[in-house]
Amino acid sequence: MSYYPLTSIPDYYGIDALLTEEHKLIRQSVRDWVESFVMPQIDQAAQNHTDIPGLMKELGKIGALGPYIPVEYGGSGLDQISYGLIMQELERGDSAVRSAASVQSSLVMFPINEFGSEEQKKKYLPQLAAGEMIGSFGLTEPNHGSDPSSMETYFKDMGDHYLLNGAKMWITNSPVCDIAVVWAKNEEGKVQGLIVERGMEGFTTPETHNKWSLRASKTGELVFNDVKVPKENLLPGVTGLKEPLSCLNSARYGISWGVIGAAIDCYCTAVQYSKERRQFGKPIGAFQLQQKKLAEFLTEITKAQLLCLQLGNLKNDHKASPAQISMAKRNNVKMAIDIARESRQILGGMGIMGEFPMMRHAANLESVITYEGTHDVHLLITGLDITGINAF
C-alpha cells in the first residue's frame, strides 16, 4: 500500500478537466489494481530480483495489454490518452510493471497488428492481450545498441523455411517469453521482422543476472543458432528499419507517460514525509530548502503532464512526429529520475529503505533513461529536427 493518501495525487493545473469520464475511470481502475496487487509485493520482488508471479495474466485481466489494439483481436480499442494513463498508473507501482505492459503492447502486439498477416493477428494477438502468451522484442545486439541499422543477425531463404542466426541482448522478458518479434537482415541486407517461437530448435534465451535496476523484470538474450523459422512467421508488411522504429515510437510515447507515475509516487511520499518528520522543533517541510525541492518537483510534474496530454492529442490525430515523441521521452525520464534522486534526500536515512519507493524508482529509471533510445540519442534527434543536420 502507498505511504500517502491517494487523494493527494497532484493535478495542479486542473488537467483532469481535459480528460473524459472514460479516461478517469480507466485511470482509477488501474490505480486501484496497482494499489492492491503491485504495492504489497513490489519491494520484495525487487529486493529478491524476481518477477511478480502471474503478472502478465493480471495485466491482461485489467486490459493493460494492447489497450489500443482493435477489440476483434482481443484489445480494448482505446485511444492513446487512455494508453498513456494506464502506463502512468502502472509505473507509479514500478517501472518493471510498466515495462512488461509496454513491451507486450507496443513492441509485440503493435508490430503484429500493423505489419502482420490476418493469420498472424488471429493466432497471436488474443493470447497476447490476455497475458496467456508472453512476447519479447529483439532489436538490440551485443555490438549494436544505439545504431540498430548495423545489426548482424541475419536469415537465409532455404526454400520452404528461413534459417536464422545471430544474437540479441538486453531483451525484456526474454527468459520467460513464448514468442519473440525478432529484427534481422535478409540476404539483400534489408531489415525484416520474424516471429520466433519458444521450442524452435536452436533458439535459447539465457537470463541476464545481477542487475541493480528493473530488478522485478526479467532481462536476457535471444540466441539463434540455425533456427528454422516457418515462412508464414515473416511479418509481411515490413519494408526495412522504419517499421521497428515505429514500434519504438509507440513504446517511447508510453514511457513519457509512465515515468510521470514514478515521479508522482516519489513526490507524494516526500510531501507526506516532510509534514510528519520533525527536526529543530518543526516539520522538515517548514524549511525553505525542502520547500524549494517540493515546489520544483510539482512544477516539473505539471509540465510533464501537459507535454504528454498534448502529445496524446497529436497521437490520436496521427500527427505526433518521432521527434516530438523523443522530446517527451527525454524530458520526462530526466524529470522523473531527478525527482527520485532529490526526493530520496528529503527522507534522509529513511530514503534508502525499501519501505519507501525512491531508491527503487531511481534505480529503475537508470534503465528507462537508457532503453528505447538513450538520453543523448534523443537529444540528437531533436538537434536533427531543428537543424536538418545529422550529428549521429
Q: Which residue of 37, 110, 203, 371 would you call a contact of ligand FAD, by CB under 6 A?
A: 371
Q: x-or-dash pattern for ligand FAD, window 218-247, by CB under 6 A?
A: -x----------------------------
Closest approach, Cβ 42 to ligand FAD, in A, equals: 16
- Residue-wise over 84-103: b if at least 16 C-beta within 10 A, else e? bbbbbbbbbbbbbbbbbbbb
Query: Cβ-closest residue to ligand FAD?
Result: 145
CA gap 254, 67 in Å, rounded: 11
Closest approach, Cβ 149 to ligand FAD, in A, equals: 12
Q: Which residue of 138, 166, 261, 351 would you call a contact of ligand FAD, by CB under 6 A?
A: 138
Among 110-118, 137-145, 261-269, 274-282, the segment contacting ligand FAD (CB under 6 A): 137-145
CA gap 291, 285 in Å, rounded: 6
Q: Which amino acid is at 358?
A: M
HSE, side-chain direction, 13 A CA sphere, residue 71: 4
User: Quick check: 103 binds ligand FAD (CB under 6 A)?
Assistant: yes
Q: Which residue of 137, 224, 297, 356 would you call a contact of ligand FAD, by CB under 6 A?
A: 137
The total number of residues shown for the chain amounts to 392
User: Quick check: 382 binds ligand FAD (CB under 6 A)?
Assistant: no
Number of neighbours of residue 357 by Cβ within 10 angstroms: 27
CA gap 56, 15 in Å, rounded: 30
Q: What angle do the packed helices 21-33 and 80-93 form, to 10 degrees?
A: 20
Chain mean position to CA 66: 13
Q: Which is nearer to ligand FAD, 123 or 329 (CB)?
A: 329
Closest approach, Cβ 145 to ligand FAD, in A, equals: 2
Q: Which is nearer to ligand FAD, 29 or 208 (CB)?
A: 208
Among 5-13, 289-297, 334-342, 366-374, the segment contacting ligand FAD (CB under 6 A): 366-374
Q: Which residue of 280, 281, 288, 392 would you call a contact of ligand FAD, by CB under 6 A?
A: 392
Number of neighbours of residue 233 by Cβ within 10 angstroms: 22
Distances (CA, A) of 13 to 18, 150, 301, 362: 10, 45, 10, 26
Q: Which is nearer to ligand FAD, 169 or 268 (CB)?
A: 169
Residues in contact with ligand FAD by CB under 6 A are 103, 137-140, 145-146, 170-172, 214, 219, 367, 370-372, 374, 376-377, 380, 392
